[in-house]
Amino acid sequence: MMFCPGCGYEFREGLRRCPDCDVDLVADLEEVDRAHSGRLRGGKTVSVFASQRPQAEMLADMLDEEGIPSVLRAVDASAPGVELHVLEQDAETHQGLIQDLIAELGAQDPGE
């Protein structure tokens, strides 16, 4: 089976790209997680947000604007949601800011 590293959906053999995320499929989501974790400066990561991909991407962009690196990870192959991970020390240091951004994201009109 093949998996989308973006949304985590599982696809039958023969497909090469996720039609929703428009990314190449992979055989092993754990490999993708290990590779994406390298984008962070190293260290233990923690999940600070779980949602559908568009909302998590919006929060990731907001964190990036604040200088907080993050990575999206598929929850599992059978679920469409993703988790947003940051370094553990960033989660502790910026806890208030992260909560404020999550609240701001929730207050945004879905049609925006």
What DSSP line would sit under 11-64, residue for residue? E-TT--B-TTT--B-BS-HHHHHHHHHTTSSSS-EEEEEEE-HHHHHHHHHHHH
Q: What is the pLDDT of residue 112?
A: 41
State percent of the chain over pLDDT 70.
71
14: left (phi over 0), alpha (psi -120 to 50) or beta: left
- Please give the DSSP secondary-structure letter assigned to residue 1: -
- Domain ranges in the chain are 2-107
Amino acid at 86: V
Position 109 pLDDT exceeds 50 = no
Mean pLDDT of 55-72: 87
- Give CA–CA dist 94/59, Å, rounded: 14
Does this model's pTM top 0.85? My answer is no
Tokens found for residue 49:
């947000």
What DSSP line would sit under 74-94, residue for residue? ES-TT---EEEEEEHHHHHHT
Q: What is the pLDDT of residue 111?
A: 42
Position 73 pLDDT exceeds 90 = no
